[in-house]
Amino acid sequence: MTDSIFALGGIALLAVLAALIGVRPLRRAVISKPLFASYRKVLPQMSDTERDALEAGTVWWEGELFRGKPDWQKLHAYPQPKLTADEQAFMDNEVEEACRLVDDWKVTHELYDLPNAAWRYIKDKGFLGMIIPKKYGGLEFSAYAHSQIVTKLSTRSSALSVSVMVPNSLGPAELLLHYGTEEQKNHYLPRLAKGIEVPAFALTSPWAGSDAASIPDAGVVCKGMYQGREVLGMRVSFDKRYITLAPVCTVFGLAFHLYDPDGLLGGEKHVGITCALVPYDHPGVDTGRRHFPLNAMFMNGPVRGTDVFMPLDFIIGGPKKAGQGWRMLMECLAAGRSISLPSSNTGMAQMTARAVGGYARVRSQFKMAVGKFEGVEEALTRIGAYTYMMDATRTMTAGAIDLGEKPSVVSAIAKYHVTERARQVVNDGMDVVGGKGICLGPSNFIGRAYQQIPIGITVEGANILTRSLIIFGQGAIRCHPFLLAEMQAAQNEDTKQGLVDFDKALWGHVAFTIRNGLRALWLGMTGSHFVAVNVDTAPEMKRYYQQMTRFSAAFAFLSDISLLVLGGSVKRREKLSARLGDILSQMYLISCTLKRYEVEGRVKEDAPLAHWAIWDSMYKAQEAMDGVIANFPNRFIGSFLYRSIFPWGHPYVVPSDHVGHKVAKTLIAPSATRDRLTAECYLPKVETEAVGAIELALLATLEAEPIEAKIREAEKAGRFENNPRANVRDIATVAAECGIITTAEAEVMRRRNHLRDIVVRVDDFPFDFNVATANKPATSRQAA
């Protein structure tokens, strides 16, 4: 009897809860209203700069990954970026010639700048105006073409690529196109397109680096003299550093806080962050000095000025755009960040894969090519697979810009993970090359890249900050289907409408969390084997789509529980936020890799590159989930999350050595796969160039390997016993003298040995590196 009463009571309670939730007015009054009131109290007030940063840009594929059930048809429907005939011709001719004009050793060690011929060429051929429309004299290239060009230039010289990259990224041209007055556009854009003007953009302050909104640079609205007459303007003081192209710029964008204490503009006294366009020779402006960023000789330096008077017409967009600078910067940031560093670092990785792979076949130790040692294979595998994934990410992200997107979260993911993988790729390349890599000189093809890797890690949002604050911090609010709607409802000044909107978003959020929790558990229990993939895909890749759906559900559930339990403190728990961002990032990288494999025609020979990269990312995503759960402040909830997401334990392991072996083999022998992997590399064809020598030596090595096998057999048979010349360097010559190989074969070996010796050569210099003076002895012996 008692059990029946309790059962009836339970049923009645469930009925009441169902009624409360199901009947919207009742639910709103009893549950949502008090939650709405509490939420309004605890929700921190958002500053204008935070709101601008949050609302800038668009949500793209990353929104699908947040849903818990990605629509793979959307991924496959994105068009493959392609070059137009004009863009391809520019790549094949102008870009090739620009690369030829630059010798990176001379740039970094002798000239400390690009040669004059290269500067003239990139200005005359429109490299500085790729994003400017044709009606202003620009090339009007696509974002993908911009990315392709920067990638190729980066395989030759960082000074060359950065000098082209910056004018086409966040800066005067981009800001003028979106916000400039017609007068500003008509004056500046044709001059920028033709290289008559060289632009820079001055944002970073010594006292506000990553926290750019806190710049102390300020201007005050006042009257002053300009070109012989009194005008309304601004008196601005500024101290900027790290400004690329500043030492050679003719005009620069300037970000500063504008104040109007006398109400001359008729509005707020603190007008807000403002962007102005300032000629380099304007009275009071100080440019020309340089920084020295790790031997990278792109122009970079400070911009300073004290009480510099400038008319209001200098403001980009004119006086009506005063105070809108931060929003302008945030809205334009995604495009530049999606292209610049992902492209330049992918170019660096492509060249590393090409040159180090060739070197590892040419260079031998213990009578075997070093690239065939398993330890070296491990490094080559990472180089190849990471380069494949980096290029996939670069291409898909640039394609988003051409679709009209401004993907703020995706651009942060691409910037962070492409530069971090580039760091690993170049480090691995240095390990393979060994002593040759650490001795700088014209024969060293990787040393400068190794030096300059931290630059990409640091600029356009330091990687530590990007990972710990931006990717998930911004992604959760922008990409979550309900979170932003809840925040906007709570901040609605019309509380009645705010409650209606909050109620709708809240219960949609509750249902969303429950669905993803149940889906994560089900997919964990079944290993995602029964997931229906709603798109035609390569059979060898189908399981990844299923596993990615599992990751998406688990990530959405883990994110919601984290936000529910930790609330606003998630922002302060940067380690947890970073790990949640890592999960989202790895899913995006995998998506790009799957997309690449699909659009490139499902080439089976390329599959090992995709397989290894995807398994590596899945394992990293699993590690990130472990990191969140293991450090969850509530251990009971942490245990619940683990059992929900990994009911049978960890399913993902490190990529297999068998697949890694296939990837490494791809790098050390010519093939169509290797050519696709390094398609944007500038490849000189002469032995006097370090990379050209490797290309020629690789072909010569492959031709010589059968002949070398004959010599090894003769050596085993004792044909060279007690011959002191039968050493690793001269044994081919001895074999020819003994008749073991023919004259033609001896010539093949001689050619191989000649090229091999060029490849393994290390540069040396005079004792004083040619900097001795009359008061300084040329050698330490003379000093003694």
What are the residue numbers of the active site? 460
Locate 294 and state its tokens.
């790790």
Nearest to 354 by CA among 102, 695, 754, 609: 695
Three-state secondary structure readout of 344-369: HHHHHHHHHHHHHHHHHHHCEECCEE
Element (H, E) at 665: helix 657-667
Planar angle of CA 118, 402, 673, nearest 5 degrees: 70
Locate 156 and state its tokens.
């030759």
DSSP 187-205: HHHHHHHTTSS-EEEE--B
Locate 671 and state its tokens.
């093939």
Single-letter amino acid code for the residue at 227:
Q
Q: Are 577 and 587 in contact (CB under 8 A)?
A: no
Single-letter amino acid code for the residue at 59:
V
Place of tokens 């690793």: 728
The residues, any chain, with a CB within 8 Å of residue 540's CB and separated by 6 or more, are 604, 607, 611
Cα distance between residue 120 and residue 128, in whole Å: 11
Locate 233 and state its tokens.
């303007």
| Distance from the Cα of residue 122 to its chain's centroid | 24
Locate 736 and state its tokens.
């020819």
Q: Are 490 and 70 in contact (CB under 8 A)?
A: no
Q: Are 302 and 378 in contact (CB under 8 A)?
A: no
User: For residue 8, how many other CB atoms are within 10 A of its CB?
Assistant: 10
Single-letter amino acid code for the residue at 437:
G
Cα distance between residue 562 and residue 629, in whole Å: 10
| Distance from the Cα of residue 106 to its chain's centroid | 28
Q: Are 476 and 485 in contact (CB under 8 A)?
A: no
Core vs surface per residue 682-704: b (16+ CB within 10 A) or e:
bbbeebebbbbbbbbbbebbeeb
The CA–CA distances, whole Å, from 771 to 182, 294, 526 equal 53, 20, 70
Cα distance between residue 366 and residue 377, in whole Å: 16
Core vs surface per residue 537-569: b (16+ CB within 10 A) or e:
bbeebebbbbbbbbbbbbbbbbbbbbbeebeee
Cα distance between residue 354 and residue 374, in whole Å: 19
Q: Are 445 and 371 in contact (CB under 8 A)?
A: no
Q: Are 589 and 393 in contact (CB under 8 A)?
A: yes
Collapsing DSSP to helix, strand or coil, 708 comes out as helix
Q: Are 660 and 378 in contact (CB under 8 A)?
A: yes
Element (H, E) at 302: strand 300-311
